Structure 1
Amino acid sequence: MSQPREIDMDGFLLVAQGHSAFQLLWSGVQLGLFDTLSRQPDSSADQLGQSMGLQAYPCRVLLTGLAALGLIVKVDGRFRNSAVAESVLVRDRPDSMAPVLGWQAEIVYPGLQDFLPSLRAGRNLGLSRFPGSGETLYERLVSHPELEQVFQDAMSSLSRQANRLIVDAFDFGRFTHVVDAGGGDGTNAIALARRYPSLRVTVYDSESVCHIASEKIAAAGLADRVFTCVGNFLQDPFPAGVDAILFCHILTIWSMERNRDLLRKCWRSLPADGAVVVFNMMGNDDDTGPIGTALGSPYFLAIATGEGMLHARKDYQQAMLEAGFTRVVEVGGLPLHHGMLVAHKN
């Protein structure tokens, strides 16, 4: 049971003016402020204004806001990155969140303007911000190549961070052929193939995404063991001869009812010793957080599909058992509110 959480006035002001906080953050990233402070800590306001091409007044507004947020630190008129900013806001850092913030700025931010109407309607009215065919964001991104690239860059960034956890958190070497369902640009598949030299991995995604993945796979020199499969795994069959199916940051997209149906389909597709591996951020079982997952769910309601959320562990576990899997093993100790559940057919 998580501890009850109550907000203080500073927390309230941050929520109430969250739009300003994000714009300060995103502007700092776009203007290269955190990159500059990483290279040149203890810079003055004048030096930073010159590096960003800003006049003194707008530079002061930006630096004051970011210092108040604790993203940069001001001491004796000099500025440096906070520890968090140095870790996740410098663009060439391995854990940089800059691509994820691009997705927030260009996709999540516009769509969430329709959050209240989406709540009332119970469907993703924010999708209207992205014209095209289809009832989900993922279908409509095909009509917006630039936004699709923003989305894939963000997902690839998340995958790079995640695959360092995935490849060692669970022994995929016990399998011969893994399907990475909704595997995106192949980041996870490539990492798995490198970690497990005898493993074959297939990225199962849309045609446009598989094209991106194929290029990355070829560049990695792994085309003999990492493949792509074009299709919609909600409707089309899984590739034959696989003994594991990986869902990485995927089952958040849909309702647990739809996930249960998909898990039943997985159960029917797998051999007796097969398994499904689910890896993503997961909510508390009592629906009180954590904050990172709770703030992620409005995107799925208002924009992505109108039905998903960052589900609780217990909901995944129940759906797996109801789908026919005989046992579910949780892999613990993962950071950033992530969880991994392995559902074994037998």
Structure 2
Amino acid sequence: MSDGRIGHEEAPGEAPGDATRLMEIAGGGCASRVLAVAARLRIADVLDGGFLPADEIAERTGADRDVLPLLLQVLVTCGIFERDRHGAFGLAAGSAALRSDHPGSLRNFVILLAETYDDAFGGLLETARTGRSGFEQVFGVPLYEYLGRTPEAEGVFDAAMAELAVPAAAALVERFDFSGVRRVVDVGGGDGTMIMSILTGNPHLEGVCVDRPSVCERADARLAATAGHPLAGRLRFHPSDIFQEVSEGGDLYLLKNVLHDWSHEGGVRILSAVRRAMTRTARTHAPGVPRPRLIVMEPLLETESDAAHSLFQTVICGKETRSFGRHDDLRALLSAADFGVLSVERLSSGHHAFECAAGRTASPG
């Protein structure tokens, strides 16, 4: 009779620990959900760098006193929390990014991965058999359509993308010279975190953030609600379908982590909309003023260890989406939209930044 435990008798010739390893991998989804609940409850914030007994954490977070210790102990086993000699719980070293006030916070990204995206992996078998999006199998619609219908999930998604944008923006500001630029247009820029960081580091700049109407509406409202915000007069949000139309008037256009969400044809449509905006802008420039440039920032998946990221992308968006493994993959897409690559640089965030000009079929970079 089973005692309720997961058991396994090792087969002849089976190495000790093989079964344990299999069960650890199989139970990984449980651990990720536990981590997401801890993030939802803001346990890391409640601890405030110290140790608290489980009962007090439960009281401060509104959690059940009997269940919460189990959740905390699971995360101790995972190395997220630790216990002191009195049995109180604290945040383990290396887990500070779970705090919402940490400068490199990943709280919302943890929630996104372990909730909406983990749900999408319920469609992995469909993806494995057909190449189609597991996300659409589970939710019935593509990712961005689902987000538009689900404000709470869209809010988490926006906040998660903002968390990922912070180190990317810092890396770009560190390496790119904005002195000859007056206006930056961030295409698919979400809540504006990326462009805000660029504007903060370059007081002479103006910025435009282009994204879905619902995203721009929320971001614009947050900016307007912050009395005396230093960027209030220098940043505006432009709602748009980026497959059709992008704001003109930019000296520099930016696409960060946008193209890999779409098929080759979708990527060409986005890039073509950007190129049209850049071409219209160039016609209004005075003689001698440099033509607008585009910077595309994408992580290149160059090693076997990147397979998990590629599979994840396939489950969310289907096998037709782009996982750029080499420079040539992205160069081919840019060339198809009549962009030439002037230079390529690997940033400290792990992104590769492709600086491009419109209307150049040759690639000097």
Note whether the superposition's TM-score is higher than 0.5.
yes
**1:279 paired to 2:329:** no
Q: Percentage identity across aligned positions?
A: 26
CA contact (8 A) 1:137 1:305 kept: no
Match of 1:4 in 2: none
CA contact (8 A) 1:111 1:302 kept: yes
Secondary structure at 1:39's aligned position in 2? Answer: coil
Q: CA, structure 1 residues 247+326, in 2 after alignment: closer, same or farther (shift >3 Å)?
A: closer
* Worse overlay, 69-78 or 99-108: 69-78
Match of 2:254 in 1: 246
Match of 1:302 in 2: 315
Match for residue 325 of structure 1 among 327, 339, 342: 339
TM-score by length of 1: 0.80
Match of 2:35 in 1: 25
Match of 2:354 in 1: 341
Match of 1:168 in 2: 174
Structure with higher Rg: it is 2
CA contact (8 A) 2:210 2:240 kept: yes
Q: CA, structure 1 residues 268+50, in 2 after alignment: closer, same or farther (shift >3 Å)?
A: closer
Match of 2:98 in 1: 89
The separation in 2 between residues aligned to 1:128 and 1:322, in whole angstroms, is 31
Give the letter aligned to residue 160 of structure 1: V
The separation in 1 between residues aligned to 2:129 and 2:93, in whole angstroms, is 40
The separation in 1 between residues aligned to 2:156 and 2:198, in whole angstroms, is 24
Deviation at 1:75, TM superposition (A): 5.1
Deviation at 1:273, TM superposition (A): 3.1
TM-score by length of 2: 0.77
**1:158 paired to 2:176:** no
CA contact (8 A) 2:183 2:252 kept: yes
How far does the alpha carbon of each residue in 1:180-205 deviate from its partner, in whole angstroms, 9 at most, with x for none?
Answer: 11111222222222222232221112
Count of residue pairs the alignment pairs up: 326
Deviation at 1:342, TM superposition (A): 1.9
The separation in 1 between residues aligned to 2:149 and 2:88, in whole angstroms, is 46
Gaps of 5+ in 2: 1-16, 283-289, 361-365
**1:316 paired to 2:325:** no
Deviation at 1:166, TM superposition (A): 2.9
How far does the alpha carbon of each residue in 1:82-134 deviate from its partner, in whole angstroms, 9 at most, with x for none?
Answer: 22212x11222121111112222442122221121133232224225446xxx
Match for residue 131 of structure 2 among 122, 134, 137: 122
Deviation at 1:334, TM superposition (A): 1.3
Greater RCO, 1 or 2 (C-alpha within 8 Å, sep 6+): 1
Deviation at 1:254, TM superposition (A): 0.9
Secondary structure at 2:94's aligned position in 1? Answer: helix
Deviation at 1:246, TM superposition (A): 0.6
Q: CA, structure 1 residues 104+55, in 2 after alignment: closer, same or farther (shift >3 Å)?
A: same
Match for residue 232 of structure 1 among 225, 231, 241: 241
Match for residue 274 of structure 2 among 245, 248, 266: 266
CA contact (8 A) 1:185 1:216 kept: no
CA contact (8 A) 1:112 1:298 kept: no
CA contact (8 A) 1:204 1:229 kept: yes
The separation in 1 between residues aligned to 2:191 and 2:24, in whole angstroms, is 35
Q: CA, structure 1 residues 15+213, in 2 after alignment: closer, same or farther (shift >3 Å)?
A: same
Deviation at 1:239, TM superposition (A): 2.2
Secondary structure at 2:170's aligned position in 1? Answer: helix
- CA-atom RMSD in angstroms: 3.0
Q: CA, structure 1 residues 313+213, in 2 after alignment: closer, same or farther (shift >3 Å)?
A: farther
Deviation at 1:260, TM superposition (A): 4.1
CA contact (8 A) 1:181 1:246 kept: yes
Match for residue 110 of structure 2 among 97, 101, 106: 101
* Worse overlay, 216-225 or 200-209: 216-225
The separation in 2 between residues aligned to 1:12 and 1:171, in whole angstroms, is 49
The separation in 2 between residues aligned to 1:122 and 1:188, in whole angstroms, is 32
The separation in 2 between residues aligned to 1:83 and 1:329, in whole angstroms, is 39
Q: CA, structure 1 residues 227+15, in 2 after alignment: closer, same or farther (shift >3 Å)?
A: same
* Worse overlay, 25-34 or 205-214: 25-34
Deviation at 1:175, TM superposition (A): 2.2
Give the letter aligned to residue 248 of structure 2: A
Gaps of 5+ in 1: 1-7
The separation in 2 between residues aligned to 1:150 and 1:249, in whole angstroms, is 17
Deviation at 1:247, TM superposition (A): 0.9
How far does the alpha carbon of each residue in 1:272-318 deviate from its partner, in whole angstroms, 9 at most, with x for none?
Answer: 7332212243311x5x133xxx4344444333466335422422234
CA contact (8 A) 2:211 2:239 kept: yes
Match of 2:5 in 1: none
Give the letter aligned to residue 83 of structure 1: A
Deviation at 1:264, TM superposition (A): 4.6
